[in-house]
Structure 1
């Protein structure tokens, strides 16, 4: 199934849209951006220029993904979450040469109104709570909340909060913490 773009949205030249991707109302995909298969972009989304997005990503309403942002597969960006592209912006100072990359690894969930300060890497399957402000790298499977965000727990591959026994309540998968990192226990 080819990509679907609502008539109120714009897709610039030199953009790659994967099969099954849907772009809804009032969005703009800027040149040089590459979007994978089966992605969904809500209303008023801006992507680019030169942004890379993997397969099966969901970007909700009112999100801007600036140059330097990279989303791997299966990333969820909640409504009105914010990505910055410069650490110390000033209106009167040109900082375009200072864009810092932001890498969002596979399976990450970013809640509504969360802010991701550029230069950060969000580890696989991390869960960023609504309204959290990420100012540094996030370990895989971390549950992050607050301003600035701190790790308040762990989440499973399925996005469920893990209790003390580190067993996913949805799937029964077991996890362990090794050297400060969560990982699945192989059966």
Structure 2
């Protein structure tokens, strides 16, 4: 599955804290990168994003425009984040279904977070999951399967408790 993510490739007006290690030049205008962030060389970051301290973004990651990534989040290879997404503090994404030390899959499953979705603090998102447009993941939830558009999911495993208004 692929998703369209718009990104503006410019670093002319982005703000990058000097203690961060930003290896990519694909950062949109108005994006702010705070202390102790590492962004690898092939990552693509959109415009007007806010990437808070102590985050890591790997190479095969695309982040759309106006995305907020709070402190303590790691974005691993295979992650696609659309525009206007909120990722709360210490959200955990994983990208390997059967992790073993020094054994890597041929490719990583693609995890997609669609436009306007919000993920609460300390939620865990398993690999290959799709989080629907404007969906909301409750704090501490463990997402083990796809989340529909406009769904509010909570718990372990996360379950739909209701649907949010589309407006």
**Common topology (TM > 0.5):** yes
The reply on whether 1:100 has 2:109 as its aligned counterpart is: yes
Give aligned pairs, total.
156
Q: TM-score, normalised by structure 1?
A: 0.80
Structure 1 unaligned regions, length at least 5? 158-172, 174-187
Q: How far has the Cα of 1:118 moved from its partner?
A: 0.8
The reply on whether 1:126 has 2:121 as its aligned counterpart is: no
**Which runs of at least 4 in structure 1 moved beyond 6 Å after TM superposition?**
none
Mapped to 1, the partners of 2:106 and 2:94 lie a distance apart of 14
Higher-Rg member (1/2): 1
Q: TM-score, normalised by structure 2?
A: 0.89
Alignment of 1:3-152 (within 5 A): 3-12=14-23, 14-91=24-101, 94-152=103-161
Question: What SS does the aligned partner of 1:153 have?
Answer: strand
Q: Deviations over 1:123-182 (max 9, x none)?
A: 10000000001111110000000101010111234xxxxxxxxxxxxxxx5xxxxxxxxx
Question: What SS does the aligned partner of 2:13 have?
Answer: coil
RMSD: 1.3
Higher mean alpha-carbon deviation, 14-23 vs 62-71, is at 14-23
Structure 2 unaligned regions, length at least 5? 1-11
Mapped to 1, the partners of 2:165 and 2:96 lie a distance apart of 31
